[in-house]
Amino acid sequence: MTTGVVIENIVASTKVSEVLDIEFLADKIPEASYNPDEFKGLTLKFEKPKSAVLILFNGKLVCTGAKNMDEVKDVIKKTVKKIKDAGFEIKKNYKVEIDNIVASVDLKKEIQLSSVSKGLLLKHVVYEPEEFPGLIYKIEEPDAVLLLFSSGKIVCTGVKKVEDASNVINMMKEKLTSLGVL
């Protein structure tokens, strides 16, 4: 991985059952929050690792906030145990899949975004500083979006593999170097 790249968030999901009675689970898992007027699922928050799992009526669990797959698997496992303890059957071989990874790097150097926007292919760039303080750079392969900020911070989102986040950030660092802004 590129030096300085930090995984900020992994969003992952799995399907552990065909149907879950959310109201019943809300009673059986008192630490979960349930407000059906705002959101039809249950939200279960964890302090260690700091993350949350959404429990949906269709049996899907969505984990957010974890920084690595071990943390994802840990909170999914804890959530599955709570659902089992409430009396629900769980699929034996449920598979956890990454939906999105957010990674960032601080280049520790300011970037002239107007110069960058002129040097990159226009079809991939959205730079409207009066609407958003960063430059948005869209990548087709792997499917990713980079947000570049004048402070030198780069945020990568949309990838499903840690290596892809690292590779995309490295590619942008090379482009910035070739443009003479790094």
CA 172, 173, 178, 181 torsion: positive or negative?
positive
pLDDT digit string, tens, across residues 61-76: 999 999 999 999 999 9
pLDDT digit string, tens, across residues 131-163: 999 999 999 999 999 999 999 999 999 999 999
Q: Which two tokens stand for residue 5?
A: 């790249």
Which residues lie across from 137 on neighbouring strands? 125, 146
Domains observed in the chain:
11-98 (3.30.310.10), 107-178 (3.30.310.10)
